[in-house]
Structure 1
Amino acid sequence: MTVPAVFVSQFPVYSLTSQLLENWAECYPTHPRDRMELPREAAGMNTPPLVYQRAPDVSELTTEGDKLERRDIIPGKYYGGLKVWSCAPYLVAYMFGNRDMFRRLFEITDNPIENTTARKTPPDGQFAGTSLVHPIVAEVGCGQGLPGIAALLLGARRVIFQDYNEEVLEICVKSNIGANLLRHAEVVALRENSSPSCLPVVQMVSGDWSRLQWQDCDDGTGKKAHDVRCKVVLGSDVTFDDEACEKLAEMLERCLSPTSGVAYIASKQYYFGTNGGALEFQKCAEGRGLQVEEVSRMDEAGGMQRLIMRVERRG
C-alpha cells in the first residue's frame, strides 16, 4: 500500500516576534528541578548557556498498550524526542567552536534556487514573502531542538524543526526556543519595530522521514510551487538503528539543496544491539550518492566514541 506524502510546506510557520517568544517561554517549566542548562564542560566554553527541560512525562507517547513501563523508543510511535541525548550537546559545541563557518553557511544568498518557496506573503509569516533570500536550515529528529536553537543564535533566519512527534514540538521545542531566544535576545537582534522580513522564522514539522516531501507538486508553470530543500541539515543521535540510517540517508538525498546543501550529523560510532551508528549510516549514505566525511571525534571513558559527519552530494 502506498503511504501518502506529507508536504513540508504545509506545516505551521512562525515569525519570532517578541510577543510570540514570550508566549512560548511561558510554557517553559517553572519548577527548578525541571529547568536544565547545558554545562559549559559538555557544550564548550564558547557556547552561550542554553537551557532545556528535564524529559517531561508524556505517558501516551512513552508507554505501549497496557504496559506502564516507559520506553525510550517505541517503533512507529515514539523515538525519544522528549529527552536530550548525548550527541546534541556535542553538536552544539561543534557549531559554536566553528561559529565563523556556520555563520557563513547561514548568510543571505542571492542564489534563487535556495529560495523557491511560495511567491506570496501569507499572514502567518511563512518563509515566502521576504525580499531577502535566507538559506533554509533544518534540524531533523530534533527532540528538544538545541542544535536548531544554536543555529538561530549563530545567525540562521529560517529554521525548520522536525521531529516524529508533534507533541515533542509543542511541549519542548516551542518553549525551549522562547526561553533561549529571550535569554539571548541581543544575539538574534530581536527588535519590537523589526519588519517581518527581518525577524527569524521557524517551522514545526512532524512525521516519518520517509513520508516528508520537500518539494510540492507542479503549479502548472513547469516549476515546483514550493521548494524547501535545505542549505544546512543538522541531526544528533539520529542513526540509532539500521532503519533510521537508511531513512535518514534517503531523506538527505531529497532534502539537501542540489547546489550547496550540507548536513552535519552527530552520532555514536555504534549503537549496540540495534545495528545503528556512524558506519551503518555512512554505508547507507554512500549508497545514495552522498559523500560522508568525519570532521570531529570525541573519545570518552569506557571506549564510547562520538563523531560528527559532514554529508554532501557527491561531485
Structure 2
Amino acid sequence: MAAFRFNFGKEEADSIQGEQGPPENTEPAAEIVHRPQPGIAFFTEKASIAEGLALVKGIISSDEAATIFSDQRIAASDLLPGKYEGGFKLWECSLDLCKTLLSRYSVAPDRVLTDSELTTDLKGTKVLELGCGHGLPGILALMSGAEVHFQDYNHEVLRRLTIPNVIANMERLPRSRPRPATRYFSGDWRLVGEHLTSRGYGGHYDLILSSETIYSVPAQERLLECIKQLLQPPHGVALIAAKRYYFGVGGGTKSFRNLVEEDGIFEVSVVAQVDDTASGNVREVLMLKFPASIHPYFL
C-alpha cells in the first residue's frame, strides 16, 4: 500500500485552500443501483487489516482515474476540488478505522472470513460510511453483520470501486453467512443528509464512519452538519479517522475537535492514535457521541 499523501505542492495547496467553498457539483444526491459493467477488468490486491485478516481492494491507477473522469489533471493530483475527492486511493486512516472497529465491536479478525455465524457487537446495527472510497471500514462492518450504506461524492467511485470491492469481499465469506443489506449514495454532504432523511431510507444510523475526509475546514463543517442530520440519538456514535494536521489545507483532527466542541451537539474524544514517525504527524480516530442529556436540537 502506498504511503498517505495529498499529491500536491505548496502552490497547488494554496490554490486548493482558496477554492474550498461549495463544490462545483450541484447535482442532487442520488442512490446508485449496481449494474454490472461487462468488459471492464477489475484487478485486486489484499490490504492487511490485522493478523489473520486481509480485505480485498481494487486497483485503479491515477491514469485510469483521469480517463474515467475525462480530466487529465487527476493523473497528477489526488484531489480536484469540486470534481474528484480522492476516492480511488486507499488512505492509511481507513485501515486505522478498520482496526478500531475490530477492537471496539468485539470482531475477532481470524474469524471474519471463516465462521458460518459471526458474533459481533455490530450485528444488526445500521451503519453509514461517508466519503467511503474503497469502503473497507464499511465492508468490515458489513462482514460483521451490520446493514451498511456507502456514500461517496463521486458516483464513478461507487460504481467502479466501492461496489466491486463489496462484492469481492462478500464472496469470500462462507455461503451460510447471512448477507446484510447494502445501499449506495452519491453527492455532496450538504445534500446527502436531507436526501436520506426525506426519501424513505430510514434516515438515521447507529454508527457513522469516515476516514481522511476532514482535510479542510469547509469539509469539516459539511461533514459535521451531515452527521448531525443522520446520527441516531441517543446512542449513535460516529468514528472519524484522520491525521492531526493536513499541512497546507488547514484541516485535521485537532481543528475538527475544536469545531465539534464549539458546536456543542456532540462530545468528542480520541479513541485511537498512531504516531507516524516517517511523516512527523499523528493519525487519530475520533469518537463523536451524544452527551448524557440530549441537546434540544434533537428534541
User: C-alpha separation between the residues in 2 aligned to 1:69 and 1:28?
Assistant: 19
Q: Deviations over 1:53-85 (max 9, x none)?
A: 223412156675x75753211111110001101
Match of 1:189 among 167, 174, 177: 177
What is the aligned counterpart of 1:140 among 118, 122, 130?
130
Calculate percent identity across the aligned residue pairs. Answer: 29
1:11 to 27, 31, 34: 31
Matched, 1:87 2:104: no
Q: Contact 1:149/1:177 (CA < 8 Å) preserved in 2?
A: yes
Contact 1:99 1:154 in 2 (8 A): no
Q: How does 1:155-304 map to 2 (within 5 A)?
A: 155-156=145-146, 158-185=147-174, 189-190=177-178, 199-212=179-192, 213=194, 214-216=196-198, 226-288=201-263, 289-302=265-278, 303-304=280-281
Match in the other structure for 1:150: 140
1:265 and 1:309 in contact (8 A); partners too: yes
Amino acid aligned to 2:65: V
Q: Partner of 1:58 in structure 2?
A: 65
- For the pair 1:77 / 2:57, whether they are aligned, the reply is no
Q: How many residues align?
A: 253
3-state SS of paired residue (1:51)? strand
User: Cα distance, 1:105 vs. partner?
Assistant: 4.6
TM-score (norm 1): 0.71
Counterpart residue number, 1:38: 47
Give yes or no for contact 2:65–2:74 (8 Å, CA) kept in 1. no
Deviation at 1:228, TM superposition (A): 1.7
Q: 1:106 aligns with which of 104, 117, 122?
A: 122
Q: Distance in 2 between matches of 1:5 and 1:287?
A: 31
Give 3-state SS (helix, strand or coil) of 1:91's partner.
helix
- CA–CA separation in structure 2 for the residues paired with 1:68 and 1:176: 22
CA distance in 1, matches of 2:248, 2:289: 28
Q: Displacement, 1:166?
A: 0.2
Tell me the residue number matched to 2:54: 49
Q: How far apart are the structure 1 equivalents of 2:211 and 2:40?
A: 25
**Does the 8 A contact of 2:66 with 2:73 survive in 1?**
no
Q: 1:295 to 1:146 in 2, by over 3 A?
A: same
The amino acid that maps onto 1:50 is: L
CA RMSD, aligned part only? Answer: 3.0
* Structure 2: segments with no counterpart, 5+ residues: 1-21, 109-118, 293-299
What residue number does 1:125 align with?
A: none
Structure 1: runs of 5 or more not aligned = 15-19, 109-134, 191-198, 218-224
1:200 positional shift: 1.3
> CA shift at 1:4, angstroms?
8.0
Asked if structure 2 preserves the Cα contact closer than 8 Å seen for 1:138 and 1:159, the reply is: yes
Shift of residue 171, structure 1, vs aligned partner: 0.2
Matched letter for residue 304 of structure 1: N
Could you tell me whether the CA contact under 8 Å between 1:62 and 1:74 is conserved in 2?
Answer: no
Q: 2:32 touches 2:186 (CA, 8 Å); kept in 1?
A: no
SS of match in other structure, 1:183: coil
Query: How far 1:29 moved relative to its partner?
Result: 2.1
Runs of 4+ in 1 over 3 A off after TM superposition: 3-7, 23-28, 60-64, 66-69, 101-105
How far apart, CA to CA, are the structure 2 residues paired with 1:25 and 1:262? Answer: 39
174 and 69 in structure 1: CA distance in 2 versus 1, 3 angstrom threshold? closer
DSSP-derived class of the 1:38 partner:
strand
The alpha-carbon distance between structure 1 residues 283 and 5, as it changes in their structure 2 partners (threshold 3 A), is: farther
Superposed displacement of residue 287, structure 1: 2.9
